[in-house]
Every structure is written in structure tokens, then in C-alpha cells.
Structure 1
Amino acid sequence: MAPGGIKRISTLFRSKSHSKDPSSSKKSKHLQALPDEPEPPTPTTPTTATSTVNATSRRRGGRGGTRDTYEDLLGPVSPPARSSPTQFLEEFDQPITDRVVVVTGASRGIGLEFVRQLSQDPRTLIIAVIRNPETASKLVQLTSTQVVAVHADVTDEASLKAAASDVARISKGKVDLLINCAAINTDAKRPLAEWDAEGLNAHLATNVTGAVSTINAFLPLLRKGKEKRVINLTSGMSSLAYNDPHLGLDISPSFAAYTISKCCLNLATRKYAVEQGKEGFCFVALSAGWVRTDMGGPDAPLSPQEAVAQLIKVIDGLKLEDNGKFLHIDGEEIEF
């Protein structure tokens, strides 16, 4: 993908109400995703990205027209050709929303479950940021409302800035809540003495620099939001107190590269809390606990559904005085 390029997942929606009563159709602006295997859209033969946008626009009609179905634009689109997606986004008739939430790492695990549960509120717009659209089939198949998938790599600043620019058009220029879930965790059993610079730097690039780059890209939109909340998903194992050699804990597996990167993310969270707190922001490092995901493994005690339900409860209960805290999934504060 060219730097700054963007790809959106093609998803079909239909309005919840199919009533022929004009007054009822005007009131029902919320959209609901079609079932997992939707009927294909009306066949078209576009030859370029521009013709795809125009064909889709004609099929949707004007703002006052009926919209039984519409489809998103497929990419990728490089910066020189950004006029086509810009045209599309300006025509995107997003339902009225009170809250805009951006979730990174949204194609699987905890990120996907955040999208699933938060989208149950019809007045919440979810921007699901994903790195690999080709492996995001579960996200496409969500039968929830208000979900828009955006392609961006957290290790590519240009793609993040392009995504934030497009999100600004979709969300009317604001984001209320950013949840950074994107992370990698490889070779959990390898002790730190056996790690090389390439492997360690890969974890830092995604888990630390990637989160910082994401925050910086969306910070202008967060400033215009009501909540001004940023949640960095971390791990209780990244606590310096937990890794105290005098405690005699047998920490196995090591999770060396992962926990080091999350410890750095915790400090980055505090730096933002200090620097942005005067603007009414609330930055929190939030531990999800041990969850049965690809990363957590099959032996974890919590399902993604259970974990995210608890995490959302903590997020919704945050106050300004929580800015800069390191919290566990149960809301208890963790020692840095």
C-alpha cells in the first residue's frame, strides 16, 4: 500500500425501518448491517475508482432519497488520487450520533469485541481501524449498527494521518473516545537475554510508537469531542512492582518484549496525561487481564465478551481525576 493510502471494507446496510410512511422514513436514519451473506449490490461495471464512486452515488440518490442499500468504496487509494474518496466521504450520509469512538486493532480479539459491544448503542459511531482488511471477515459480518472500517497501519504515520483526515469527514470533525488495542506479542516464552534488536524493536514500534502515532493523528479530533478520553490497553504484567525480583515470583512465560513495550506505553500514557490534562483530557492505561484471545491463549479465564463488558464499565465510569492512572479491568488502580 502506498504511504497515506486507505482501503475501506465494502459493507452493505439497510435502514431499520422499511415503512412506506414518509414521516416514519424520515425519523429512521439509523442503519443496520445486512446479515452475514448479503445479496450483492446492483451490478455495475466501473472501470476506475472515480466511476465506482459515481455509480455508488447515483445508486444512493440525494440526501432526501430512499437508501435501501449502499456500499463503501474499495481501495487502496494513494494520496494523488484522494479526490475520489473525498467525494465519497462528503456524500456519506452518516446517521445522527452522540458519540464517536475510534478502536484500533479492531479486526480480532478484544478490539473486535469492543466494536461489537459499543455498536449496540445506535447513537454511537464506531470507527474500526484495521491493518489487514483481508483478514477482517468477522468485522465485516457484524450485524451491528454504526460501524465504519478504515484501513491504517499504526506503524505508518502517513496512513494514520490519512485515516484521521477521512474520519474527520465521516464524524463531522470530532472523536470522543480513542481505544488503542493494536498490539503484538510474540515468543512469550523467550527470556530477554535471547531477544535481538529486530524483535524487540518490532514490539516497540507497534505497541509504543504505534499508539503514540495514533494518538497524535487523532488528537485534533479528540480536542473537539465531548469526552476527550484515550484508553491505552496494557497489561498488569508491565507493572514495575509486579516484576520486583524481591517478591520471588516465578514469572513464566516471560512475555519479555511485550511487557517491556507495555511498560513504555504506561509512561507514554502518563506523559500525555500531564501534557493534555489541562485541556480536560483523560488518558488511562487499562489492563484487560488474561483473556482468551489469539494472544492470551485458550487457558485464560476471561472470554473477550466478559472482559470487554468489564472494560466498558470502567471506561464509562472514568472521571477527570482518573487522568494518568494505571487501572485493572476491575477498576482498581495498579502500581506503576
Structure 2
Amino acid sequence: MSTYLITGASRGLGLALVYQLARLDVSEVKMVFATLRGQESASLREIAKASPGRIIPIRMDPSNPDSIQKAVETVKSRLDGQGLDFLINNVGVSPLVQGGISNMQGSSSASPSGRTKSGREYIRYNTIGRTQTKQAYSSTTLGSIARSKVYELNPCPAYKITKAALNMMTVQYAQGYAKDGFTFFVLTPGWLKTDLGGPAADLPVETGAEAVIKIVKSANQEQNGRFLNIHVPGWENNKSVYNQYDGKEVPW
């Protein structure tokens, strides 16, 4: 029986991951801690209600050390001395910057949603906040330097920069904790039809979540420090230059 912690679980991929795990038998999944910054979504509340004591929503702001520490203490108390088996670090933000990196503000600027964020704030949220939780999993091919030319026209330089930093951070953890038996890796869940991915994305969020869980469940030391792609049958040889979901390793 395994225990999981999933960040960013109130919607999108994080919520779909919680749902996929909740469907598995208790012999496979004992407990899932689902972290969220704000109020529980109705969907997460329903999943937790259907699996009382097994799906546990927890408030946590990944950019706030005090909030992280409180969440850690809550998880420790529920685990009752047992270690956490899997951490799927999914939370992140992706600002759109029309016109490229020259228009990415160093100071605060208003986003289309009305929220104010700066380039430094996105780096703090997507990268530094993840360091404090000690693991990172969910990345994107937009963070691949080798494939940067392919995604040149995507107007989200801060997102690309922070994901590339996240990738290197994961490698450092993989190297630093390899002797202790930990496995750290990043994977791309695909371009999914979420609030972030939009309706024109490649895959339903459920498809991406199912593929992610499959990789995580089968993870071993061979995956340590690697950048993995999900596998979706029929997408291995997609003619688009952007995304092929072939289950292979992604170039850094």
C-alpha cells in the first residue's frame, strides 16, 4: 500500500491525478495527500468525500516556507511514523508575454487575469518553492533547451526559464540522494486540455493523468535524474513537430 502527495490538486492535472489514484484499490494506494493553495474545489471535495480518510486535502502555498512546514507536519502526523512513498510535484504557473522576453517585466506587471506577477515572482513560485518541498516531478518540453527552437513562438519565456531551472534542480537532487535510494525525475504530462493548456490542446487531462500515474508507479533507480515523456498509443509518430508522446526520454 503506497502513500502519495500531489501538489496543485484543486484542478487540472493535479485533480485528475487524485481522481486516478482514488480509483485504485486500497491495496495499491493507501492514502493521497492533495495540496491546494486556496479553497477546495467542488470536484476535489467530492473525491475526498467518496474516499474518507484516504484522500486528504491540505492547504499549502509552495512559495511560503511557513505554509510548507505546516503541511509537512500535517502529513507526518497522518503517516504516523511511516515515510511518504511518492511525491508528484505538479503545481506551477505560466504567464503569457506577447512579444518575447524583452517584454517580461522585472518588476510587477498586471496579467490578463488581473493578478500581478513579475518575472522574479514566477521564478520564485515555479522553482524556489519547489526546492523547499524537496522534490519535483512535473515538467514540460517547453523547458528543454535542446528543443527551444521548436517552441520559439510560444509567448511564455518565464515559464520556459523556470521549467529549465526545475529540470536542473531535479538532476541535482537525483545526484545528491542517489546513494540513499531516492528516485528523482521529471516528466512531461503532455499538452492537456486544462485551464492552462486550453481547449485546443492535444489530450484530455484524464489521458495525461493516467499516463503519468503509470510512469510513477513503475519508477525505479533507472529513472533517476531523467526527463521522461508519457506514452499515448497513436501519438508516437504524430506528424506535428511539437509533440509526440512516445514514452521516450526527452533531451535536456
Q: Which amino acid aligns with 1:240?
A: I
Match of 2:93 in 1: 184
**1:24-35 matched pairs, under 5 angstroms:** none
Q: Which structure is richer in relative contact order (CA contacts within 8 A, separation 6 or more)?
A: 2
Normalization by structure 1: what TM-score?
A: 0.63
Q: 1:256 aligns with which of 152, 157, 160?
A: 157
Distance in 1 separating the partners of 2:25 and 2:4: 13
1:263-320 per-residue CA deviation (whole Å, 9 max, x = no partner) reads 0000000000000111011101111111000110110010110111111111122220
Could you tell me which of 307, 312, 325 is aligned with 2:226? 325
Within a 5 Å distance, the mapping from 1:99-178 to structure 2 comes to 99-123=2-26, 124=29, 125-133=31-39, 136-142=41-47, 144-145=50-51, 146-173=54-81, 174-178=83-87
Please give the alpha-carbon distance, in whole angstroms, between the structure 1 residues aligned to 2:170 and 2:42: 31
Per the normalisation by structure 2, the TM-score is 0.83
Residue 106 of structure 2 aligns with which residue? Answer: 197
Deviates more, 1:265-274 or 1:119-128: 119-128
1:295 aligns with 2:196: yes
State the number of aligned residues: 220
Instruction: Name segments (4+ residues, structure 1) moved above 6 Å.
Output: none
- Secondary structure of the structure 1 residue equivalent to 2:58: strand
User: Is the Cα contact below 8 Å between 2:142 and 2:151 reproduced in 1?
Assistant: no
Change in CA separation of 1:144 and 1:332 when aligned onto 2, cut-off 3 Å: farther
> What whole-Å deviation, never above 9, does each CA across 1:11-70 have from its counterpart, x for those lacking one?
xxxxxxxxxxxxxxxxxxxxxxxxxxxxxxxxxxxxxxxxxxxxxxxxxxxxxxxxxxxx
Structure 1 residue aligned with 2:234: none
| 1:253 Cα offset (Å) | 2.2
Contact 1:231 1:286 in 2 (8 A): no
> What secondary structure, in the 3-state scheme, does the structure 2 residue paired with 1:332 have?
coil
Alpha-carbon separation, structure 2, partners of 1:318 and 1:204 = 28
Q: Which residue of 1 aligns with 2:211?
A: 310
- Rate the CA distance shift 1:164–1:115 in 2: closer, same or farther, 3 A: same
Equivalent residues of 1:152, 1:159 under 8 A apart = yes
Identity of aligned pairs, percent? Answer: 28
Question: Structure 1's 195 and 231: CA in aligned 2 closer, same or farther, altered over 3 A?
Answer: closer
Q: Which runs of 5+ in 2 are unaligned?
A: 108-117, 232-246
Partner of 2:129: 210
* C-alpha contact 1:102 1:177 (8 A) present in aligned 2: yes
Instruction: Give secondary structure in 1 for the equivalent of 2:214.
Output: helix
CA contact (8 A) 1:116 1:144 kept: no
8 Å contact from structure 1 (residues 190, 256) kept in 2: no
Distance (Å, rounded) in 2 between the aligned partners of 1:256 and 1:104: 23
Give structure 1 stretches of 5+ with no counterpart: 1-97, 216-229
